[in-house]
Amino acid sequence: MTEYLIFLAISTAIFALFSLGLNLQWGFTGLINFGHIAFMTLGAYTTVLLSLQGIPLFISAVMGAIVAALLGLIIGFATLRLREDYLAIVTIGVGELIRLVVNNQELPVGDTWVSGAFGVQSYPIPLTTAPNLFFRLVMIGLLTLLAAITFWALWRWIRVAQKSLRIDTSKKVSSKQELISRLSVGLIFALLTAGIYIAGVIGLYNYSPKAGLMLVSLLVLGFVFWRLEILVRSPWGRVLKAIREDEEVPRAMGKNVFWYKVQSLMLGGAIAGVAGAFFAWQLSAIYPDNFQPQLTFDAWIMVILGGSGNNIGTILGAVIFFTYDALTREYLPRIFTNLSSDQLGAFRIMIIGLILMVLMIWRPQGILGKKEELTLSK
């Protein structure tokens, strides 16, 4: 059970990172990106291939993020001066193009060249060697600090809604609904944080490399979330929101709309590149077929579920998605014993599609999204 919780925590952290990059591009800037997996693919392969050449893992991951950002720069210069739908068309093609190139090219694996179709294995992974007791206690301390910050942030987030309910009596109904939403989400996050913390402490004390990877992925997720929250509340972030709503307004105010779009595409791509590094480290062996277009649409599901233009909502969407994934993988085969594995897979997709349809009718802005910031109509 502990190992499974750690696995789910790593997967959720990776795809929360991946989706945060997409949320920056679409939720905050209104850029339609259907090939987000391209950034993850470049980040994963760059990190892995550089680490096999003896470059430290941290530098390899940073280089993977830079390469992914450069892809965003290239796509931006090629499409962002054209109509919005060109970006969607080009990103779909780029995502598949990169996967097919990797599949058909030879890759430098150490001192030899290996066909990309055979994948890349036996590359360095962070924290595979068990540290001594002192460093294990330091890691547990970091996990404790991260959990404490999470609980404090949740409490502060709920308090903001409570103050809004007391101050703005003219919007009492909407403020009360937001408070109820925040209380429900806060309770979910608190329970998950407690469960992951307990599993993480056990995994770190009786050292497991996956527990070490979980700690690093959660720390990176926390750092990226913190910096994104600062960015989107800054003047830079307000310009992105203005571009999303009506780019003619910031253009009339003298803002370089094209360059802001490119920056958003590059930063979102860099975040996805970092997620790609962690994805490769989690898998321990990567193949081109690990980077199917389906992963992009999984990220879209997470962003839409949680609420576009809301970073906490994106993380909530990732949590809901992987909770749903884990539960249906465990219980559907027991309920529908006469269905094959392929049929069960299709049935699971049908259920998530139905959930999305109901959500779009009931709450089109997502669970935590704001209706006035809805970008689905763009």
Which domain-ending residue is among 168, 187, 206? Answer: 206
Confidence of residue 222 (pLDDT cuts 50, 70, 90): very high
In this model, does residue 241 exceed pLDDT 80? yes
> 76 and 164: one domain?
no
- Here the CATH number for the domain that contains residue 323 is 1.10.3470
> 213 and 356: one domain?
yes
> 354 and 224: one domain?
yes
pLDDT of residue 113: 80
**Gap between the Cα atoms of 319 and 338, Å rounded:** 29
Q: Which residue has the tokens 């206690």?
A: 137
> 189 and 281: one domain?
no
Q: What is the 3-state secondary structure (H, E, C) of the chain?
A: CHHHHHHHHHHHHHHHHHHHHHHHHHHHCCCCCCCCHHHHHHHHHHHHHHHHCCCCHHHHHHHHHHHHHHHHHHHHHHHCCCCHHHHHHHHHHHHHHHHHHHHHCEEEECCEEEEHHHCEECCCCCCCCCCCHHHHHHHHHHHHHHHHHHHHHHHHHHHHHHHHHHHCHHHHHHHHHHHHHHHHHHHHHHHHHHHHHHHHHHHHHCCCHHHHHHHHHHHHHHHHHHHHHHHHHCHHHHHHHHHHHHCHHHHHCCCCHHHHHHHHHHHHHHHHHHHHHHHHHHHCEECHHHCCCHHHHHHHHHHHHHCCCCHHHHHHHHHHHHHHHHHHHHHHHHHCCCCCHHHHHHHHHHHHHHHHHHHHHHCCCCCCCCHHHCCCCC
> 124 and 266: one domain?
yes
pLDDT digits (tens, 9 = 90+) for 59-70: 999 999 999 999
> 368 and 298: one domain?
yes
Asked whether residue 335 is assigned to any structural domain, the reply reads yes
> 173 and 310: one domain?
no
pLDDT digits (tens, 9 = 90+) for 72-115: 999 998 888 776 678 888 899 999 999 999 988 888 877 778 88
pLDDT of residue 174: 58
Asked whether residue 280 is assigned to any structural domain, the reply reads yes
pLDDT digits (tens, 9 = 90+) for 252-308: 999 999 999 999 999 999 999 999 999 999 999 999 999 999 899 999 999 988 888
What mean pLDDT comes out for the span 23-39? 93
Confidence of residue 377 (pLDDT cuts 50, 70, 90): very low
pLDDT of residue 175: 60
Confidence of residue 14 (pLDDT cuts 50, 70, 90): very high
Q: Which residue has the tokens 């990172």?
A: 17
Higher pLDDT residue, 339 or 298?
298
pLDDT of residue 375: 52
What mean pLDDT comes out for the span 226-245? 93
Confidence of residue 46 (pLDDT cuts 50, 70, 90): very high
Measured in degrees and rounded to the nearest 5, phi and psi for residue 366 equal 90, 175
pLDDT of residue 169: 53
Asked whether residue 378 is assigned to any structural domain, the reply reads no
Q: What is the mean pLDDT of the chain?
A: 87
Produce one character per residue of 55-77: b if its CB has 16 or more CB atoms within 10 Å, e if not.
Answer: eebeebbbbbbbbbbebbeebbe
Higher pLDDT residue, 330 or 142?
142
How many residues belong to the chain?
378
Higher pLDDT residue, 178 or 96?
96
Asked whether residue 211 is assigned to any structural domain, the reply reads yes
pLDDT of residue 166: 63
Confidence of residue 378 (pLDDT cuts 50, 70, 90): very low
**Gap between the Cα atoms of 150 and 110, Å rounded:** 41
> 162 and 102: one domain?
no
> 120 and 159: one domain?
no
Confidence of residue 353 (pLDDT cuts 50, 70, 90): confident
> 215 and 252: one domain?
yes
Q: What is the 3-state secondary structure (H, E, C) of 70-102?
A: HHHHHHHHHHCCCCHHHHHHHHHHHHHHHHHHH
Which domain-ending residue is among 177, 206, 235? Answer: 206
The whole domain housing 348 covers 2-130+207-373
Which domain-ending residue is among 173, 206, 239? Answer: 206
Domain count, the chain: 2
> 224 and 366: one domain?
yes
Higher pLDDT residue, 259 or 333?
259
pLDDT digits (tens, 9 = 90+) for 135-155: 999 999 999 999 999 899 888
> 236 and 304: one domain?
yes
- Note whether 369 and 309 are within 8 A (CB): yes
What pairing do the DSSP bridges indicate for beta strands 285-286 and 112-115? unpaired
